[in-house]
Structure 1
Amino acid sequence: MTTRLYIARHGQSEWNLENKIQGIQDTNLTETGIRQAQLLAKRLKSEKIDCIYSSDLKRAHETAQIIAQEFGLEVKKIPELREMSFGVWEGLTAEEINKLYKEIYQLWRINPDKAVIEKAETLKEVQKRILIETYNIIEENRGKNILIVSHGTSIKALILGILGIDLSFYPKIRLDNTSLNIIDIKEDGKAVLVLLNDTCHLRSDV
């Protein structure tokens, strides 16, 4: 009995558009982000989604709600699925961070698992909390198709954790807005990556 995880990043947010680090700041979806979520909902319509979970931050929860409307499901809002807290970096652009915190920013770009950002979570802490919650969700929904809507950093940490890949590989994964990732959890607990950073649904809006 296989449990299938559909893991999606939220649609474009206001701060995505401005290239600002969001972290746990509660930014809204843009009109583009809403449209992206609608297209992802249509893409998922052909799948059998049994339950939907999302981060409690607005950009992820609204994305999940748009998808949930296609299935007549309720979204279960889970704080542990939220984005990494980036502390003093939140609200700053990458350029600003590079100027103000150059040494730690360069370390984050190369070895993020070793970076300690002021007033922020570490990547290991993020991975631990989202893995614990995701395994709880899997345990409650054995054999079902589960959709989780979360955030770029958290999802990358989650995927690496489930697959048993070291966090040092974090910079080697790209996740676009409303990208879809699929992981099958076999009956023996082994995880198989089926799909990564799929945004084919966005092409239908070109």
Structure 2
Amino acid sequence: MQKLYLVRHGESEWNNLKRIQGQKDICLTLKGKKQAEKIANRLVFEEIDIIYSSDLKRASETANIIGEKLNLKVTPSEAFREIQFGSWEGLSIEELTEKNSKEHFIWINEPHNFKMDGAETLYEVQNRAMNKIDSILKSNPDKNILVVSHGATIKTIILGCVGMDIKYYNKMTIGNTSLSMIEFRDHNNVIKLLNDTCHLKEDKYE
């Protein structure tokens, strides 16, 4: 049974500052690196054959920490980048709500209807990410794949893999270095894990 593991990057400098990142290339914090070490220690117990990652630093740094632990090479891909947020990138949450209250309301309440000049829609994010996922799975039919990516991108992948409408995007959350997993069964695809962060709380993953 083929499996797709999905891990969000560790805490970044802008996560800590509560700034919108999008495709800005921000590094991990020290806490983020420690989170990456913990998820790496947990993934030792899984059967992962291949690692792909967003090419943005916060994801690739996380993936490389995991890859070193699992003795696997990491293949970076632009397809797994975070959503492009255009003029929102770099803004704090407070600045965003003050300057873009209408668009922010739509993003929070109806993200599938979000459309702004210079920004990607969720449909565009899902299209680029799922095209790459489909290609990887077809090229490696007997392999379990790990993808290290970003919150928005991971959510669109999960919905795409199980055939759920993108309108359910805001019904889930994806935390830093959380683990989600899809099983590809004979008759359907199943969400086996979603936003699991137990490794951040348990000493055995130190």
Of all paired residues, the percent bearing the same amino acid is: 46
Specify the alignment match of 1:11 in structure 2. Answer: 10
Cα distance in 1, alignment partners of residues 184 and 93 from structure 2:
36
Specify the alignment match of 2:149 in structure 1. Answer: 150
Specify the alignment match of 1:101 in structure 2. Answer: 100
Which is further off, 192-201 or 161-170? Answer: 161-170
Cα distance in 1, alignment partners of residues 160 and 92 from structure 2:
28
Deviations along 1:80-109, one digit per CA (max 9) or x if unpaired, are 011000001000112211111111110110
Cα distance in 2, alignment partners of residues 124 and 31 from structure 1:
33
AA paired with 1:203?
K
Gap runs ≥5 in structure 1: none
Specify the alignment match of 1:183 in structure 2. Answer: 182
Q: How does 1:6-45 map to 2 (within 5 A)?
A: 6-45=5-44
Cα distance in 1, alignment partners of residues 92 and 153 from structure 2:
19
Q: CA RMSD in A?
A: 1.2
Q: Report if the CA contact (8 A) 1:9-1:151 is conserved.
A: yes
Cα distance in 2, alignment partners of residues 187 and 88 from structure 1:
44
For normalisation by structure 2, the TM-score amounts to 0.96
Q: Secondary structure at the match of 1:4?
A: strand
Cα distance in 1, alignment partners of residues 37 and 196 from structure 2:
15
Specify the alignment match of 2:46 in structure 1. Answer: 47
Q: Report if the CA contact (8 A) 1:88-1:117 is conserved.
A: no
For normalisation by structure 1, the TM-score amounts to 0.96
Cα distance in 1, alignment partners of residues 79 and 67 from structure 2:
20
AA paired with 1:166?
D
Q: How does 1:48-67 map to 2 (within 5 A)?
A: 48-67=47-66
Aligned length: 204
Q: Secondary structure at the match of 2:34?
A: helix
Shift of 1:48: 1.5
Shift of 1:46: 1.0
Q: Report if the CA contact (8 A) 1:84-1:154 is conserved.
A: yes
Cα distance in 1, alignment partners of residues 2 and 142 from structure 2:
4
Q: Report if the CA contact (8 A) 1:56-1:78 is conserved.
A: yes
Q: Report if the CA contact (8 A) 1:55-1:61 is conserved.
A: yes
Shift of 1:166: 1.1
**1:111 is aligned to 2:115:** no
Cα distance in 2, alignment partners of residues 135 and 89 from structure 1:
30
Which is further off, 157-166 or 22-31? Answer: 157-166
Cα distance in 2, alignment partners of residues 192 and 10 from structure 1:
23
Deviations along 1:8-30, one digit per CA (max 9) or x if unpaired, are 00000000000111000000000
AA paired with 2:85?
F
Q: Report if the CA contact (8 A) 1:23-1:83 is conserved.
A: yes
Deviations along 1:148-180, one digit per CA (max 9) or x if unpaired, are 000000001111111111111111101100000
AA paired with 1:197?
N
Shift of 1:117: 2.1
Cα distance in 1, alignment partners of residues 32 and 158 from structure 2:
23
